[in-house]
Structure 1
Amino acid sequence: MSILNSVLRRQPDLTSSAFLVIAFLTGIAGALQLPTLSLFLSTEVKVNPLMVGLYYTGSAVIGIVVSQMLATRSDKQGDRKRLILHCCILGALGCVLYAWNRNYFILLIVGVILSSFGSTANPQLFALAREHADRTGREAAMFSSVMRAQISLSWVIGPPVAFALALGFGFPVMYLSAAVVFLLCGALVTFLLPSMPKSALKTDTTLASPRQNRHDTLLLFFACTAMWTCNGVYLITMPLYVVNALGLSEKLAGIMMGTAAGLEIPVMLIAGYVAKRVGKRFLMRIAVGAGLLFYVGLVLFSAEWALLALQLLNAVFIGILAGIGMLYFQDLMPGQAGTATTLFTNTTRVGWIISGSLAGIVAQFWGYHAVFFISLLMSVGAAYCMWKIKNV
């Protein structure tokens, strides 16, 4: 209750509320598109599974390039608020393209580029929120954790709505709905978010200090990438493992995912609440420790009750990683909020690129259970990196 009271006390003004609403809506915009993408490509564009896999890989690579390029520019010059607005507009245009175009290569090139701009609105929003929190004296960890919880909430609501729209009314209606959400975000950004333009001289001065943290930033990048890879491997493999290897109900996979997603929200809020007291490095070490125990549990136990109980460790693992990992990057890269936030976001993308290939190859030759041994080894690697990073 004290955590909730603290959140309410810290979020009374219109600007802070706008950040929360826009974070939720940008999450909805993504959650309306991504869950049905493979279905859209196979049924509407009519491509084979290999082309679907190529699309996901190409999308991740292009997304990394676009987001990192925009992040570097946003930290050096211009107004981050205007960049977020432009990303929302381009994201809406991308949704319109998906609504009416069915040419695979146009979608792979033009559609992915527009979608990459749209998805960059989210990390830029978090970067602006960090700058706003620092300028107004607001506790950044708690504020960012509440914002991150909005993303999790949007992914509880968005996927069912996406499937209902796509299957009930068709993909054009679903994508046009996402376009409307992007435009609504753009309007809220225009009228409610603060403007914080940068001067080149000020930025050059600020960017000189993070160079001493480059080694720690690299270690954190490797650790977060390994952790997201473990999560990606788990999400890809778990439904097949539960049904095909263990012979359990298909519903169990959905219950396990729902349980973890539901538990992640309070974990994020608690982590944000205690971050200033215990430190971000300590929390990230708790996260990687929980991940180690989670994958040890998956290797050792196969009973239904055990798989459900392990979701608490999974929620601690992902909840802290998603909520505190981004803030840790920002602390290691002072004056580069946009680059730091996007760098963290790209650990997720790189993790998905690796996990897609890794899960398929290992499962093909050694079985589903062997995949969790690989995840355990990667968790050990992530733990090593976390223990080599200095405290911030």
Structure 2
Amino acid sequence: MQTSTTAMRRLPNLTSLAFIAVAFLTGIAGALQTPTLSLFLSTEVNARPTMVGLFFTGSAVIGILVSQFLARRSDKRGDRKSLIFLCCMLGAASCALFAWNRNYFLLLFVGVVLSSFGSTANPQMFALAREHAERTGREAVMFSSLLRAQISLAWVIGPPIAFALALGFGFEVMYLTAGATFILCGGLVWKMLPSMPKLQAAQGATLEAPRRNRRDALFLFIACTLMWTANGMYLINMPLYVVRELNLPEKLAGILMGTAAGLEIPTMLLAGMVAKRFGKRFLMRCAVIAGVLFYAGLLFITGSWQLIALQLLNALFIGVLAGIGMLYFQDLMPGQAGAATTLFANTTRVGWIIAGSIAGPVAEYWSYHAVFYSALAMVVGAVFCLWRLKDA
């Protein structure tokens, strides 16, 4: 009897470790591909700058359509574990296509669709983790924060590996490495993640959230989109601003990104620990205030060490947004973990579409410094939306 009890205690630990490993591997798969994509398109595919921009916009739009379609189906029917495995395999197929094909339009219309399935494995994994935590009585907030920290960790180490592989061994090796990561991830999903068949809902039951929750979900969607837009404008603009306007070393841009990503990890874990006591709305409001201070600081601070110190506010801004924002959507959309998680993921995609549309023209017609005024305006808009949310 004691042996049986011990085995039952070990199983959730193995399952938790499997979730952590899958979160990290899906993060690595994305971190290997995204940072070098513009370089790949311009050097390997010989795409013009306009076509490179079109590729990113098309990728975001296709990704939104694919992820929302899968999210609706996953919440209504089937086993989410099987869907995650399928997404990993299609993600690996996408990597193989990028490794061996150099036709722009084939990559855009076939490769992007396949890679959109691959990227959907991540939000679906978070949805499965939420369902598993609820059915087993585990603490969902802290567990999800721990998983989200793995994504940040992957983005700390993934981009340097991506550039080392692409520049040292070629893009073929880099994409095949990403594909192998997807295959390894799929194997872990199939062998280690729990199968969670959909429970039959009571007759007449509905998956829709209450009307007030739908209103709050809309405000939260707008707020998160504006916050990701500001972050996207910062990431697009910051390296050029540091080098061309501040005349600081190129390596400073990498230091700033690495510092922010490193600080995001303890921020996410701390937010997960205190979320139950202070509430998700309070933490999101703290994050957006930190964002206001961060982008206001960028307008006046120009020294190297001051910019590095400012990343603490940036880490609070993005760490809480990335960790708590997804959980807030899940709370507002009960019974729709897949749709809620994907909706949050799509705020990032929409934010990048808007950021790319604004940052380039503003920098071209005014200055790189002027882009931060636009980013600050986005965060101020997010403040308005978050203050319209009702207390749960």
The bucket for the TM-score relative to the shorter chain is over 0.9
Structure 1 residue matching 2:302: 3-state secondary structure: coil
Across the aligned residues of Structure 1 and Structure 2, the Cα RMSD in angstroms comes to: 1.6
Q: Is the 8 A contact 1:76 1:199 kept in 2?
A: no
For structure 1, which runs of at least 5 residues remain unmatched after alignment? 1-8
Larger displacement relative to structure 2 (159-168 or 124-133): 159-168
Deviations, residues 223-252 of structure 1 (Å, cap 9, x unaligned): 000000000001111111111111122122
Structure-2 change in CA distance of 1:385 and 1:87 (3 Å): same
Rounded to whole Å, the distance in 1 between the matches of 2:263 and 2:204 is 42
1:161-185, Cα deviation, whole Å (9 max, x unpaired):
1112222222121111111111111
- Write the distance in 2 (CA, Å) between the matches of 1:372 and 1:61: 25
In structure 2, do the counterparts of structure 1 residues 44 and 119 end up closer, same or farther at CA, with 3 Å as the change threshold? same
SS of the residue 1:238 aligns to: helix
Question: Aligned pair 1:229/2:240, yes or no?
Answer: no
* Alpha-carbon distance between aligned partners in 1 of 2:210 and 2:96, rounded to the nearest angstrom: 40
Give the conservation status (yes or no) of the 8 Å contact 1:18–1:188.
Answer: yes
Q: What residue number does 1:259 align with?
A: 259
Return 19-28 or 153-162, whichever deviates more.
153-162
Task: Tell me how far 1:330 sits from its aligned partner.
Answer: 0.3
**1: CA distance, partners of 2:374 / 2:87:** 37
Residue identity in the other structure for 1:165: L
Q: Please give the secondary structure, in 2, of the residue aligned with 1:32.
A: helix
Secondary structure in structure 2 of the residue aligned to 1:194: coil
In the alignment, the residues of structure 2 paired with residue 10 and residue 34 of structure 1 have an alpha-carbon distance, to the nearest angstrom, of: 37
Per the TM alignment, residue 390 of structure 1 is displaced from its structure 2 partner at its CA by: 1.2
**Residue of structure 2 in register with 1:81 after alignment:** 81
Q: Contact 1:287–1:321 at 8 Å: present in 2 too? A: yes
1:142 aligns with 2:117: no
CA distance in 2, matches of 1:203, 1:238: 54
Report the equivalent of 1:4: none
Q: What are the Cα deviations for residues 246-285 of structure 1, in whole angstroms up to 9, with x where unaligned?
A: 1122122111111111111000000001001100000000
Give the C-alpha shift of residue 33 in structure 1: 1.0
Residue identity matched to 1:226: L
Pairs within 5 Å for 1:96-135: 96-135=96-135
- Which residue does 2:178 correspond to in 1? 178
1:272 and 1:323 in contact (8 A); partners too: yes
Please name the residue that 1:305 is paired with. 305
Q: Distance between the aligned counterparts of 1:10 and 1:277, measured in 2?
A: 29
- Aligned pair count reads 384
Q: Does structure 1 residue 94 correspond to structure 2 residue 94?
A: yes
- The SS at the match of 2:380 is helix
Using a 3 Å threshold, how does the CA distance of structure 1 residues 299 and 343 change in structure 2: closer, same or farther?
Answer: same
Aligned equivalents of 2:203, 2:154: Cα separation in 1: 34
Identity percentage over the alignment? 72
Q: Check whether the contact 1:75–1:203 (CA below 8 A) recurs between aligned residues.
A: no
Cα offset for 1:10?
Answer: 12
Q: Distance in 2 between matches of 1:15 and 1:242?
A: 44
**Any residues of structure 2 matched to 1:357-376 within 5 Å, and which?**
357-376=357-376
Contact 1:76 1:200 in 2 (8 A): no
Alpha-carbon distance between aligned partners in 2 of 1:348 and 1:147, rounded to the nearest angstrom: 18
Task: List 4+ stretches of structure 1 deviating above 3 A.
Answer: 9-12, 199-204, 208-212
What amino acid does structure 2 have at the position aligned with 1:315? A
CA spacing shift, 1:188–1:221, aligned 2, 3 Å: same
Deviation at 1:199, TM superposition (A): 4.8
**Pairwise mapping of residues 225-374 of structure 1 onto structure 2 (< 5 A)?**
225-374=225-374
Distance in 2 between residues matched to 1:174 and 1:204, nearest whole Å? 51
TM-score, L = length of structure 2: 0.95
Cα 1:57/1:302, change in 2 over 3 Å: same
Please list every run of 5 or more consecutive structure 2 residues that lacks an aligned counterpart in the other structure. 1-8
Alignment of 1:46-57 (within 5 A): 46-57=46-57
CA-to-aligned-CA distance 1:119-176 (integer Å, 9 cap, x gap): 0000000000000111111111100010001011111111111112222222121111
Partner Cα separation in structure 2 for residue 102 and residue 361 of structure 1 = 29
